[in-house]
Amino acid sequence: MGMKGKVALGAVVGIVVIGVVSANADGNGNGADGTGNTADKGSSTSAAQQPGTKKDSGGKAEASEKKKAAFEGDGEFRVGSDIKPGTYRTAGNSDGMCYWERAKDASGEMDSILANDNVTGTSYVTVKATDKLFKSTGCKDWEAVAAGGSKRSSATGMDGDGGMFAVGPDVAPGTYRSTGNADASCYWERTKDADHGIDSIIANNNVTGTAVVTISAKDAYFKTSGCGDWKKTG
Count Cβ atoms within 10 A of the Cβ of residue 150 and give its class: 0-12 exposed, 13-18 middle, 19 or more buried: middle
Average pLDDT over residues 10-19: 34
Q: Give the residue, 1 or 166, on which the prediction is more confident.
A: 166
- For residue 63, the one-letter residue type is A
Q: Determine the pLDDT at residue 59.
A: 60
Q: Is the pLDDT of residue 33 over 70?
A: no
Coil vs helix vs strand at 110: helix
Q: Taking 90 as the threshold, does the pLDDT of residue 231 lie above it?
A: yes
The mean pLDDT value of the chain amounts to 78
pLDDT at 44: 37
pLDDT digits 0-9 by tens, 36-60: 333 333 433 333 333 334 455 456 6
Distance CA 170, CA 22 (A): 27
Rounded Cα distance between 223 and 204, Å, is: 9
Q: Residue 156 has what pLDDT?
A: 84
Nearest to 1 by CA among 94, 102, 134, 124: 94
What distance in Å separates the CA atoms of residue 163 and residue 224, rounded to the nearest whole number?
A: 5
Beta pairing, strands 143-144 & 86-103:
antiparallel
Give the pLDDT score at 149: 58
For the segment 113-157, what is each residue's pLDDT rounded down to a tens digit? 999 999 888 899 999 999 999 999 999 999 999 876 556 666 889
Residue 44 to residues 108, 203, 211, Cα–Cα distance (Å): 22, 13, 17
pLDDT for position 67: 64
Q: What is the DSSP letter of 45?
A: -
pLDDT over threshold 70, residue 29: no
Maximal CA-CA distance, the chain: 48
